[in-house]
Amino acid sequence: MELKRVVVTGLGAITPLGNSLSITWEGLIGGKSGAGPITQFDASKFKTRFACEVRDFDPLQVIDRKEARKCDRYALLALSAAKDAIEDAGFDFEKEDLDRIGVIFASGIGGIKTFEEEINGYNEERGPRFNPFFIPKMISDIAAGHISMIYGFRGPNFATVSACASSTNAISDAFNYIRLGKADAIVTGGAEAAISVPGVGGFNAMNALSTRNDSPQTASRPFSASRDGFVLGEGGACLVLEELGHALARGATIYCEVVGSGMSADAYHLTASHPEGLGARLVMKNALEDAGMKPEEIDYINVHGTSTPVGDISEAKAIKEVFGEHAYQLNISSTKSMTGHLLGAAGALEAIACILAVKENIVPPTINHEEGDEDPEIDYKLNFTFNKAQKRIINAALSNTFGFGGHNASVIVKKFVG
């Protein structure tokens, strides 16, 4: 069976850097931090009192008030990103076979805010009076359901849940369904809204979050010795993947081609990556093999790079192992230094960063690195693109995401050649 070629024809995002993709990309290239004090609840008693929040978001620009009440914040962010991506793709719905358009949309945690509100509202004396929309607001698949219902997409429809790798897995599944001929186009990506009492409290209990409360905007500092944990972020990111022939037939604008994806497991620890990066090595090798590419054909890696003590070291080691001497010719950057960690939405946003880097031939930076703040276990001959975007020809880029539970996923995009 000959596999179909898969291209990207639509993009959308709502992030801590801005409520549109264009503003987000401008912030990424400009090295802007989206971090600030938490405003969604009183965090004064928490170890971490800051996050990367989406600000000034009006869901009524996306959905009417009645329907919005049926959605958790994470689903509303998903709908915002999806609306922009679908409009960007420019479908003429009168001419499309909606049975052949699907939605595969991820969330690592889902409606944690809804869960918190409903449990807090429970009263033993009053009895168990829960909102009838409690369960459908909370579950992680419901964003995919809402998108399909709004647009009438009747193709493959489900969610992927693999912690921080969730939306890269969603992209990988969408890529495979299309190249196997099971769909003409799939709306894919992820959304997360876990900046909440249980979200921050839970990650604090694990000592996973940075506690640099005196300087939130410099707290996410991947590959620096003084890193002390990730900065929690929220948002939504969406891609429209499409079979090449279908895209060309309707005259779609093509951003790039998706050429490979990989998956692996660390099989090591609940939350920590393997210290030698064994799973990270395997997932990148699998993605390269799937794409039929050699390591030296990759120009840029958007790394998982969460600013955690163990994770950054193991990923840098894995890159050196997989890419050998070519590792020193790569640009590497962690856009989480600016957006924070969007958990289940991180992979989709970082895939978009790779796509725009390929399109625009510019690498967004890893911000907040200071001279003298070097970790002896990290090789700084690698080009981490510290602090300033770098222009270069980027023909192909790889995005890494690694999730709690040892879930690893990578995707490769390259310039489209007709």
Please return the burial class of 204, using the count of CB atoms within 10 Å of its CB with bins 0-12, 13-18 and 19+.
middle
- Nearest residue to 246 (alpha-carbon basis) of 186, 292, 188: 186
Query: Is the distance from CB of 373 to CB of 193 less than 8 angstroms?
Result: no
Nearest alpha-carbon partner for 195 in 57, 367, 22, 296: 57
Residue 13: the pLDDT is 98
Average pLDDT value for residue range 268-291: 94
Note the Cα 93 to chain centre separation in Å: 28
For residues 255-263, average pLDDT: 98
Q: What is the mean pLDDT of residues 123-135?
A: 83
Domain boundaries defined on the chain: 7-249, 262-414
Q: Which of 209, 167, 170, 220 lies closest to 192 in space, CA to CA?
A: 167
Cα–Cα distance for residue pair 418/412, rounded to 1 Å: 18
369 included as an active-site residue: no
> Is 25 in contact with 205 (CB distance < 8 Å)?
no
Mean pLDDT of the chain: 97
**For the chain, first and last CA: distance in Å?**
21
Q: Is the pLDDT of residue 327 over 90?
A: yes
Which CATH code of 3.40.47.10, 3.20.10.10, 1.20.1290.10, 1.10.3720.10 fits the domain covering 7-249? Answer: 3.40.47.10
Question: Which pLDDT does position 123 carry in this prediction?
Answer: 74
Instruction: Look at the block and give the residue holding tokens 């995707």.
Output: 411
Residue 121 confidence (pLDDT):
86
**What pLDDT, on a 0 to 100 scale, did the predictor assign at position 66?**
94
pLDDT in tens, 284-302: 999 999 999 999 999 999 9
246: pLDDT strictly greater than 80: yes
Do the domains 7-249 and 262-414 sit in the same CATH topology, yes or no? yes
pLDDT band at 272 (very low <50, low <70, confident <90, very high): confident
In the set 146, 246, 274, 304, the catalytic residue is 304
Q: Is 304 a catalytic residue?
A: yes
Burial of 144: CB neighbours in 10 Å, binned 0-12, 13-18, 19+: buried
- What pLDDT is stored for residue 127 in this prediction? 74
Q: Which two tokens stand for residue 294?
A: 């050699």
**pLDDT of 109 above 90:** yes
Q: How confident is the model at residue 376, as a pLDDT?
A: 97
| DSSP tally for the chain: helices H, then strands E | 13, 14
Give the model's pLDDT for residue 394. Answer: 98
Spatial contact of 406 and 379, defined as CB atoms under 8 Å apart: no
Instruction: For 13-23, write each residue's pLDDT tens digit.
Output: 999 999 999 99
pLDDT band for position 70 (50/70/90)? very high
Superfamily for 262-414? Thiolase/Chalcone synthase (3.40.47.10)
Residue 271 is predicted with a pLDDT of 87
pLDDT for the residue numbered 104: 98
Cβ–Cβ < 8 Å for 348, 106: yes
How many C-beta atoms lie closer than 10 Å to residue 250's C-beta? 17
Band (pLDDT 50/70/90 cuts) for residue 373 is very high
- Lowest-confidence segment of 135-149, 204-218, 267-281, 323-337 by average pLDDT: 267-281
Q: Which of 146, 246, 341, 407 is catalytic?
A: 341
Q: Could you confirm whether 341 is annotated as catalytic?
A: yes
- The β-bridge relationship of strands 235-243 and 185-192 is antiparallel
The pLDDT of residue 275? 87
Return all residues near 362 (Cβ < 8 A) that are at least 6 apart: 29, 389, 390, 391, 392, 394
Per annotation, catalytic residue among 52, 71, 164, 354: 164
pLDDT at residue 126 greater than cutoff 80 = no
Predicted TM-score (pTM) of this structure: 0.97
Maximum Cα–Cα distance across the chain: 68
Q: Any alpha helices (H) in 90-141, and if so which ranges? A: 112-120, 134-138
Task: Quick: pLDDT tens for 75-87.
Answer: 999 999 999 999 9
The residue with tokens 């539970």 is: 405
Distance CA 246, CA 21 (A): 25
Query: What pLDDT is recorded for position 399?
Result: 98
